[in-house]
Amino acid sequence: MALPGRVIVLGVRHFPYGEAAAILTSGAWRTPLGDAPIDSDLAAQLLEACPSFREDAVAHEHEHSLEVQIPFLQVLSPDFAFVPIALGTHDYEVLNSVGRGLAYVLAANPDVLLLTTTDLNHYEDQAATLRKDNLAIDRILAFDAAGLFETCRQHKISMCGLGPVVAQIIALKEVGATRSELVQHATSAEYSGDSRRVVGYAGFLLS
C-alpha cells in the first residue's frame, strides 16, 4: 500500500523548551536523503483549527522523536510533504482540543496520514515493562483515549508520547476510525540482552 503524499507527524517534546503545542508552517527538514518540505497549506489549516498550536522552532530544535521518522517517509513516499507538531503537555483538556482540531483538518483532507510516534515504558526490568506495556496496549487497541491517559497515570507507565497518542485517538475517533491493529510489540531486551533496564516499543495501524 502506497503512503499518502501529505503527512502530519505528531510527537512528544522531550525537552522543557518552547511552546507546549509547537507547529512549524514553512521551510524544510534536511536529512542525508535530501530536503523534506513542510506543507504550508496544511499547516495553516491546523494552526487555524487548533487554538493551542503555536508557531515555534525552539521546541523542534533538539527534538528527535519527529525527525527520526523523516528518512523512513522519504524512502516510502519520496515526494511527500509534512507538518511537524511537538506536544509538551499532559493536560487532558489541551490534548482533547488538539485532537478535535486535528479531526477537523483530517475531515477536510482525507488524503492526509496522521503519523504519531512514541515508545512505551522506560527503564524498568523486562517483567515490569511487559506488564505495563500491555496495560497501555490494551487501551490503544480499545481506541480509549481517556482510559489510556488514566491507565498511564495510575500505573506510572512512562510512555513518553502519551499526549500525542491520546490526541491521535481522539482525532481518529472524531473522523470515524474504529480499528486499531497491533503490528508488533517488543522490548530493547530482545535485542540488547539486558533485561534489567528495558524500553518497550509497539507499532499500531489505526483506521
Mean pLDDT of all residues in 25-50 = 97
Order of strands across the sheet with 180-187? 122-124, 198-206, 180-187
Tell me what pLDDT residue 1 has: 63
pTM higher than 0.85 for the full model?
yes
Tell me what pLDDT residue 16 has: 87
Whether the per-residue pLDDT at 127 is higher than 90: the answer is yes
Whether the per-residue pLDDT at 204 is higher than 80: the answer is yes
Whether the per-residue pLDDT at 39 is higher than 70: the answer is yes
Q: How far is CA 202 from CA 49, 103, 136, 182, 198, in A?
A: 30, 24, 10, 7, 13
Residue of 71, 68, 73 whose CA lies nearest to 86: 68
Residue 114 cell numbers, joined: 496522521
Half-sphere exposure for 166 (CA within 13 Å, toward CB)? 27
Cell 513518553 found at: 160
Which residues partner with 71 through β-bridges? none
pLDDT digits (tens, 9 = 90+) for 176-199: 999 999 999 999 999 999 999 999
Domains of the chain: 1-117 (3.40.830.10)
E strands within the chain? 6-12, 21-23, 28-31, 34-37, 54-55, 81-87, 112-116, 122-124, 180-187, 198-206
